Structure 1
Amino acid sequence: MFARSTTFHGRPGNIDAGINFVKNEAWPALERIEGCRGLSMLVDRQSGQCIATSSWDSEESMHAGDAALRPIRDRGRDILGATMEMDEWEIAVMHRSHHGACCRVTWMEGDADAMLEMFRVGVLPALEESDGFCSVSVLVNRADSVGCATTVWESHTAMEASRAMADQLRAGVAAETGGGVAEVHEYDLAYAHLHVPEMA
């Protein structure tokens, strides 16, 4: 399974228009493209930053759908009043128990296989025991030695309560793998329509 994320750096006042566009135009268009397995949208209402991520059953289908998606991305950029950048990923972990309201995204640099092993052995069991935890996904780009982990929480209160644990887990992964934390950001989960199977 693969994913393409598009990060929009937009205007906070345009967030709701962007969400409506994703729900009413972007997803219906994506749903018709062979190989597409879902779409999610994360938003930061204070900064205006949004991340729309489409999931695909293969790298080939992801690239085959690019021409059809280009005008959709451009329209999203115009609606949000944004600049945008894209990244492509392999979906390495997908584990969920129920839907949530908000999420924390962590970008890390280092050996992807080492980070994944640490995640499965040390991080995932700790997350599953955390109050308010809903789901987690891990995306990797092996060529660039980067990974992106998204944990979803049932409320902002639960996500805030997990911050100290998350700091400790990130530090442990970085220390054990020789990697580093590039960025951590928290978002509202504005839209999620996913058909990606369990991958832990």
Structure 2
Amino acid sequence: MFVRAVYATGDPAQLGTAVRALNTQGHDLLEERPGYRGAGVFVDHDLGKLLTVSWWESEEARHNSDEVMRERRPTLLEPFAGTMSVENYEVAVFQPGRRPLTGGGLRVSRLQFEPAGAEQVAKTFQTGALPRLEILPGFAGTALFLDRGRGRGMAGTLFADHRSLVASRAGQAVVRHESAVKAHVTVVCLEEFEILHAEVRGG
């Protein structure tokens, strides 16, 4: 599968307005697009950050949806979004969650690597990191997104609740360090979000 990630920052007091628009108008727009396979909405209420991820059955389906979504996105995120970026990725690894995720936590690592090493990054995550992440208390799913051409990626791990998210920090830090060394990856950003919605169909 393929994903489109939208990252917006703005006034925390306006975040709720954007979330409501995404959950109504934004949801309906996505559901109408061929090849749509689900979405996630993640927030940091304190700092005013919003991350949305839409899942698509093919690169073509994602591309075909972009014209409509690109036109409507600014309106949906007004007046919250002071900054906004959009990135496209291939889903290199996906381990679905096994628990309800609303109210849980998401930890995201943003990655950089040499494009020629993309396959090694995916293999290291699949065979090395994933088995160790799965045994963390409260683990509720994980995914690795790659932009092979640009040498960029996102690794996200879901936890059943905020307590599990906090408790996993030390354990996941070890996994992150060892995996980054083995895969020759640079972790350029680490963030945590609250899960408002997370659904993937046919994963």
> Any unmatched runs of 5+ in structure 1?
none
- The structural deviation recorded for 1:169 is 0.9
Post-superposition, which runs of at least 4 consecutive aligned residues in structure 1 deviate over 3 A?
A: none
How many equivalent residue pairs? 197
Cα deviations across residues 48-103 of structure 1 (Å, max 9, x unaligned)? Answer: 11111111111111111111112321113313242211100001122122232111
Counting only pairs closer than 5 Å after superposition, residues 147-166 of structure 1 correspond to structure 2 as: 147-166=153-172
CA change 1:126–1:119 in 2 (3 A) is same
Q: Is the 2:90–2:146 contact (alpha carbons within 8 Å) kept by the matching residues of 1?
A: yes
> Any unmatched runs of 5+ in structure 2?
none
Whether 1:146 and 2:147 are equivalent positions in the alignment is no
Tell me, in whole angstroms, the C-alpha distance in 1 between the residues paired with 2:144 and 2:183. Answer: 16
CA change 1:80–1:94 in 2 (3 A) is same
- The structural deviation recorded for 1:32 is 0.6
Tell me, in whole angstroms, the C-alpha distance in 2 between the residues paired with 1:11 and 1:29. Answer: 25
User: Between the two proteins, what is the percent identity of the paired residues?
Assistant: 26
Whether 1:104 and 2:107 are equivalent positions in the alignment is yes
Cα deviations across residues 119-174 of structure 1 (Å, max 9, x unaligned)? Answer: 11221111111111111111100001122111000111111111111111111112
Tell me, in whole angstroms, the C-alpha distance in 1 between the residues paired with 2:67 and 2:61. Answer: 11
Counting only pairs closer than 5 Å after superposition, residues 30-179 of structure 1 correspond to structure 2 as: 30-96=30-96, 97-100=98-101, 101-110=104-113, 111-179=117-185
Counterpart code for 1:108: L
TM-score (norm 1): 0.93
- The structural deviation recorded for 1:196 is 4.3
Counterpart code for 2:164: A
Whether 1:190 and 2:159 are equivalent positions in the alignment is no
Higher mean alpha-carbon deviation, 112-121 vs 130-139, is at 112-121
Tell me, in whole angstroms, the C-alpha distance in 2 between the residues paired with 1:4 and 1:81. Answer: 17
Higher mean alpha-carbon deviation, 180-189 vs 17-26, is at 17-26
